[in-house]
């Protein structure tokens, strides 16, 4: 029998959870499947965890779906991921208002197809109509270093930029207006950030698990949230 996990109360929940969705390819390989099957399973896991966190009352959920470095993968794999993104965006357009979930794509969308950019614009339009509920951030063509460079250029180009500070600079990041992630989760047994939310993670708590992303379910999320609830966050202050 597995060990029971106590679910944290709402006061113990992080406002912002971020996840590096890793392990899709290894999940497929273990089952003798093609990599595209792993990505499809990972997309379904993202959907389930998004709904679960929304039900729990988490305010922000950010996932690393496709990095600036992922373009180096095979053309077939990239095409599969983009097709899954299209499928997900179409489903989101149909369900966002009913589920009360606001979707935002973070990253440099200029390299995406015109069709995908149009779908992203449509989800943005719907999100503006939804006044409350979880904000789900999907990081596509995203890299932490690239985001910082993008923010520097935007700051320099703004004639009303004012004096530079951490607070003012944050307004030029893709995550402008959002709190930094309280909890960053890395599945699949890897122990690195892989260029994810480098500016925002300064005081984030980290949780690592060997579970591959397609196998990451509600019970695994409960374990991560329980571990987070036991942390003491001091932000550089003495105990």
- Clarify whether 55 is annotated catalytic: no
The Cα 6–Cα 43 span in angstroms is 27
Which member of 6, 70, 108, 217 is catalytic? 70
Which member of 6, 22, 108, 121 is catalytic? 22
The SS3 of residue 105 is: strand
- Clarify whether 22 is annotated catalytic: yes
Place of tokens 């990095």: 67
Total Cβ atoms within 10 A of residue 152: 13
**DSSP per residue over 169-226, as a string?**
HHTTSTTTTSPPPSEEEE-TT-----S-STTTTTT-EEEE-SS-GGG--HHHHHHHHH
Catalytic sites, residue numbers: 22, 70
């Amino acid at each position: 029998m597995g060990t029971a996990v106590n679910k944290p109360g709402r006061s113990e929940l992080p406002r912002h959870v971020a996840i590096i969705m890793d392990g899709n390819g290894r999940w497929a390989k273990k089952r003798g499947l093609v990599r595209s099957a792993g990505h499809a399973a990972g997309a379904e896991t993202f959907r389930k965890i998004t709904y679960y966190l929304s039900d729990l009352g988490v305010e922000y959920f950010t996932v690393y779906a496709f990095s600036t470095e992922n373009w180096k993968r095979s053309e077939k794999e990239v095409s599969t991921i983009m097709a899954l993104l299209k499928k997900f965006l179409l489903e989101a357009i149909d369900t966002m208002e009913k589920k009360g979930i606001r979707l935002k794509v973070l990253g440099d969308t200029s390299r995406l197809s015109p069709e995908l950019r149009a779908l992203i614009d449509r989800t943005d339009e719907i999100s503006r109509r939804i006044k409350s509920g979880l904000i789900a951030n999907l990081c596509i063509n995203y890299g932490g270093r690239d985001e910082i460079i993008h923010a520097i250029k935007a700051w320099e180009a703004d004639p009303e930029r004012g004096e530079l500070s951490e607070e003012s600079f944050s307004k030029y990041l893709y995550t402008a207006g959002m709190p930094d992630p309280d909890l960053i989760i890395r599945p699949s047994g890897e122990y690195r950030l892989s260029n994810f939310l480098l500016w925002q993670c300064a005081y984030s708590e980290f949780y690592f698990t060997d579970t591959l992303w397609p196998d990451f379910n509600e019970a695994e999320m409960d374990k991560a949230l329980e571990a987070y609830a036991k942390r003491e966050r001091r932000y550089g202050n003495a105990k």
